[in-house]
Structure 1
């Protein structure tokens, strides 16, 4: 597998007894009983995800579809999409 280097943001939150690590830029997540295990599992999932895309020859297509773009400098071959965090007011029916 070719080496790809990039930085991605992740969201870490607790869901029940598990911690979840989610990357909106890759639409990829993993979980674990502790935050450390969740991060470790995410790294494994990310490695497998990238290896499979590389093996299938679809890495570039998938990253482009997810909004990534090629960098001009060799240090980071890919630039993730710019994601904004915002709070949105939502009105739900009372039955929810």
Structure 2
């Protein structure tokens, strides 16, 4: 399950998301895909796909923090902002059609990245 942490000012400081690793049988490549952030990467092995995804996630975090667009982007991707004692973002549901597609190799992993405050 995805989650976000915020600082006292409401700035997002940490995000944890689920990533699906799938072997694409047509290309023989492993694909790492995170639908709640619309990020993906690929590699010849699971490890390469995970490493490429970590790089994409790091770039995503750095770029959105630098531009100040993370809040807008999350809302555009279907996240809901709820205000309680602290700012909380709720991610959209993981698309079940992705989980129901046939694949010889599929595995879910959770990734966490610290965002610049």
The TM-score, its normalising length taken from structure 1, stands at 0.72
The answer on whether the counterparts of 1:5 and 1:77 sit within 8 Å (CA) in structure 2 is: no
Offset, 1:79? 3.0
Q: Which residue of 2 aligns with 1:52?
A: 63
- Give the deviation of 1:40 after TM superposition: 1.1
Q: Which residue is equivalent to 1:7?
A: 16
Change beyond 3 A, Cα 1:54–1:37? same
Q: For residues 10-63 of structure 1, give each alpha carbon's deviation from its aligned partner in whole angstroms, at most 9, with x where no partner exists.
A: 221112221000111011100111101101110110110121111111111001
Structure-2 residue corresponding to 1:38? 49
Paired positions, count: 86
Name the CA shift for 1:53/1:14 in 2 (closer, same or farther; >3 Å): same
Unmatched runs of 5 consecutive residues or more in structure 2: 1-10, 102-117
TM-score, normalised via structure 2 length: 0.61
Q: For residue 31 of structure 2, what is the aligned residue in structure 1?
A: 20
Higher strand share: 2
- 2:96 aligned counterpart, secondary structure: coil
Which structure is larger by alpha-carbon Rg, 1 or 2? 1
Q: Is the partner of 2:40 in helix, strand or coil? A: strand
